[in-house]
Structure 1
Amino acid sequence: MTTSTVSIEPLALHIGLVGLAIFIGYWILEALVWVEEVLWLDTGVEIIAHVPLFPFAMIGGIIVQVFMTRYDKNDIVDRQIVSRIQNTALDLLIVSALATLSLQVIGDNLWEFIILAVVGVVLNVIMFIYLAPRMIPHFWFERGIGDFGQSMGVAATGIMLMKIVDPEQKTPAMKAFGYKQIFFEPMVGGGLVTAAAMPLIINFGAVPFLIATTLLTVAFWLLGVLYFGKNKQNERRE
């Protein structure tokens, strides 16, 4: 159930709700930028200013969803319409991400790109084949392929691969990926850690930053294998 076309077009209403989520995310970002400028004006340090809008738009989406869940007594939000908007937006995101690749930059740094590409592909394939089955309790392939694609490029790549292996979304892979992004994007995927990387490297050096990130990576690997992987083994035994 949704609104009647006599009063308002349902598609327009749902697009408006999506726009509202983006609008809320925009003002959250602007507020944090203002706080950063007030607190660190003399130091000249800018971190929040380099964080993209996307993670804050996701937070705005959570706020809109919580509000509508609590106060939408007439079920005016239709899941199928939201899914249509989502699929259209994902298609546009994938095309835009691929179309904005700079071939000139790749050509100017070809050998560096080849080295990074080969090492990255080999590492990601090993992680996908070895870690994903041991860390993800259910539907490891469909869920792991999304993280694999994101590690190979951007989130749009992971989404594209998930749509290929699970076009009808019969598994919870897409939902799991979306929930993961809520925590991932504000921190690493163009979030605070990504924005703070260069200032931290400049202040503390590349080697200490590499050591710190390596330790964090190993810690999360161990958490995934020893905790989530252990739960998966227990479920199999039961």
Structure 2
Amino acid sequence: MALSPEVVGFSFIILGILLLIGKWLRVFTPFFQTFFIPSSMIAGLLGLLLGPEVMGLTGVHFFDNGGVFPEAMIEVWSTLPDLLINVIFASLFLGMTLPSVKKMWKISGPQITFAHVISWGQYVVGITLALVLLTPLFGMNPAAGALLEISFVGGHGTAAGLAETFEGVGFEEGRDLAIGLATIGVLSGVFIGMILINWGARRGKTEVLNKPSDISDERKRGLITKENQDDEPAGKKTTHSEFIETLTVHLGYIGVAIALGYVMLEGLILIEEAFWIDNIEIITHLPLFPLAMIGAVIVQLFLDKCVSHNVVDRGVVNRIQGLALDLLIAAAIATLSLSVIGEYIWPFLLMAVFAIGWNLFAFLVIAPRIMPDYWFERAIGDLGQAMGMSAAGLLLIKLADPDTKSPAKEGFSYKQLLLDIFVGGGLVTAASVPLIVAVGPVLTLIVAAVIMTGWLILGLFYFGRKQADTKG
């Protein structure tokens, strides 16, 4: 089947149907509700089961490639993450009131510090693992050392969005391994977070909860009852629909942010080619999405300074971003190559265990010594995000602090501004794979260890001292 416009359109329709099936499976399946598994992940797993990687191997063939989906549709789905990740990152800061750095640091400084310790620690653990085991024993590309941070802190979007980067440095299997690790991270993240919240409440580690909070069936099922549906509106109209639809305007501004990112990326590539391309290639393999995020900041600053009307509403941007993320996760998991993961099953399991182990160590040992107050409520959100999803971090904060008595939620939101630019999908995350290939894993490990140690020292001796002063 040729890759015609009809095939592309039909591919979106089938993906939408899978998402709808995933949503209703979640509504009626207690297991999915208990562990807060996103409908997009269920849809992706369903697509994977019905595709050539699973059903195709059983001998059930609706098409030549096996499974119930034609090869052209799988090809469309496999390209979607590269496109949708740009929409997601271009939406991060649009419609937001950008506070001063001083205000962000005052409220969220401990969380910024702790999140950087976790993120850079993922590089330290991952690259060390690659140097000691993955490369010498399993013959893996040294760039595998970056997979922990890409997958766990970055999540599905970042993992899928770096497909071309992996291919560009000769590490094609990195895409499937990264998406697989991100899936493990999300599945284990909320489960581990729930266990920790129950443990923290019973052991007196939390400053808000005296006992684990009850979670309503409504929230578990992912539905909002009619009387509560105004609690989180889809967004506000900022234009008259007879002239131009509000959604159209917001898509346009997202497009401008992506275009600015593209211009910046091409400019940086020209500079690299002119000055040091013969010795090192980093920007050439850099994806577009971190620059699209910077483009969004530029667009928002322009709107704040030069446009008197409020033309961008954060609620509308959130809905567009959520749609892109749902489609991305479903498409990425549905096109996952299980054969690649099977080929690297022991390295895959080692990376998963070490990543989860580091996150738990950071939460249980480092966080209490860094956070000056509400350490559990603050750190549980960072742990959730470090397991693959910002939404999981916000969910865990909500469960640990249902009445928002701590600064955890506000600090988590501000933290994103000074975290996502660099790690968790930012410039450092995007450049990490080509950087390891270009300068070598040892030098990259040294740099990551120095930066992680710097953040750790800041946390222990600045924020940790504030904690001691408060107790004293």
Q: Could you state the TM-score of these two structures normalised by the residue count of structure 2?
A: 0.43
Question: For residue 177 of structure 1, what is the aligned residue in structure 2?
Answer: 416
Tell whether the 8 Å contact from 1:143 to 1:176 is kept in structure 2 after alignment. Answer: no
1:190 counterpart = 2:426: no
Q: Following the alignment from structure 1 to structure 2, what is the Cα–Cα distance between the partners of residues 166 and 88?
A: 23
1:215 to 437, 450, 466: 450
Identity %: 38
Question: For residue 310 of structure 2, what is the aligned residue in structure 1?
Answer: 75
Q: Following the alignment from structure 2 to structure 1, what is the Cα–Cα distance between the partners of residues 253 and 416?
A: 22
Counterpart of 1:158, as a letter, is: M
Tell whether the 8 Å contact from 1:136 to 1:229 is kept in structure 2 after alignment. Answer: yes
Counterpart of 1:182, as a letter, is: I
SS of the residue corresponding to residue 241 of structure 2 reads coil
Q: How does 1:222-233 map to 2 (within 5 A)?
A: 222-233=457-468
Call closer, same or farther: CA 1:143–1:84 in 2, change over 3 Å.
farther
2:339 to 75, 80, 104: 104
Q: Following the alignment from structure 1 to structure 2, what is the Cα–Cα distance between the partners of residues 136 and 9?
A: 45
Counterpart of 1:222, as a letter, is: I
Tell whether the 8 Å contact from 1:135 to 1:229 is kept in structure 2 after alignment. Answer: yes
Call closer, same or farther: CA 1:135–1:177 in 2, change over 3 Å.
farther
Counterpart of 2:450, as a letter, is: L
Greater relative contact order: 1 or 2 (C-alpha under 8 angstroms, separation 6 or more)? 2
1:36 counterpart = 2:272: yes
Q: Following the alignment from structure 2 to structure 1, what is the Cα–Cα distance between the partners of residues 457 and 271?
A: 36
For this pair of structures, how many residues does the alignment match? 227
Deviations 1:52-79 (A, max 9, x none): 1111011000000000001121222223
Q: Following the alignment from structure 2 to structure 1, what is the Cα–Cα distance between the partners of residues 397 and 254?
A: 25
CA shift, 1:98, in A, is 4.0
1:66 counterpart = 2:301: yes
CA shift, 1:132, in A, is 2.9
Tell whether the 8 Å contact from 1:51 to 1:190 is kept in structure 2 after alignment. Answer: yes
CA shift, 1:219, in A, is 2.2
Q: Following the alignment from structure 2 to structure 1, what is the Cα–Cα distance between the partners of residues 271 and 327?
A: 33
SS of the residue corresponding to residue 244 of structure 2 reads coil
Greater displacement, 21-30 / 128-137: 128-137
Greater displacement, 212-221 / 95-104: 95-104
Question: For residue 89 of structure 1, what is the aligned residue in structure 2?
Answer: 324
CA shift, 1:116, in A, is 2.2
Q: Following the alignment from structure 1 to structure 2, what is the Cα–Cα distance between the partners of residues 96 and 85?
A: 17
Counterpart of 2:275, as a letter, is: L
Call closer, same or farther: CA 1:146–1:97 in 2, change over 3 Å.
farther
Call closer, same or farther: CA 1:142–1:20 in 2, change over 3 Å.
farther
Call closer, same or farther: CA 1:84–1:31 in 2, change over 3 Å.
same
Counterpart of 2:422, as a letter, is: F
Q: Following the alignment from structure 1 to structure 2, what is the Cα–Cα distance between the partners of residues 2 and 73?
A: 12
Tell whether the 8 Å contact from 1:147 to 1:158 is kept in structure 2 after alignment. Answer: no
Q: Following the alignment from structure 1 to structure 2, what is the Cα–Cα distance between the partners of residues 148 and 90?
A: 20
Question: For residue 291 of structure 2, what is the aligned residue in structure 1?
Answer: 56
Question: For residue 263 of structure 2, what is the aligned residue in structure 1?
Answer: 27
Tell whether the 8 Å contact from 2:385 to 2:391 is kept in structure 1 after alignment. Answer: no
Deviations 1:133-169 (A, max 9, x none): 43345665565445435544xxxx222412533579x
SS of the residue corresponding to residue 182 of structure 1 reads coil
Q: Following the alignment from structure 1 to structure 2, what is the Cα–Cα distance between the partners of residues 138 and 81?
A: 34
Question: For residue 161 of structure 1, what is the aligned residue in structure 2?
Answer: 392
1:3 to 227, 236, 239: 239
Question: For residue 163 of structure 2, what is the aligned residue in structure 1?
Answer: none
Q: Following the alignment from structure 1 to structure 2, what is the Cα–Cα distance between the partners of residues 7 and 139?
A: 49
SS of the residue corresponding to residue 252 of structure 2 reads helix
Question: For residue 438 of structure 2, what is the aligned residue in structure 1?
Answer: 199
Tell whether the 8 Å contact from 1:143 to 1:174 is kept in structure 2 after alignment. Answer: no
Deviations 1:89-123 (A, max 9, x none): 33334434544543222110111222222222212
1:13 to 249, 274, 278: 249
CA shift, 1:207, in A, is 3.9
Call closer, same or farther: CA 1:137–1:186 in 2, change over 3 Å.
same
Call closer, same or farther: CA 1:144–1:90 in 2, change over 3 Å.
farther
1:120 counterpart = 2:355: yes
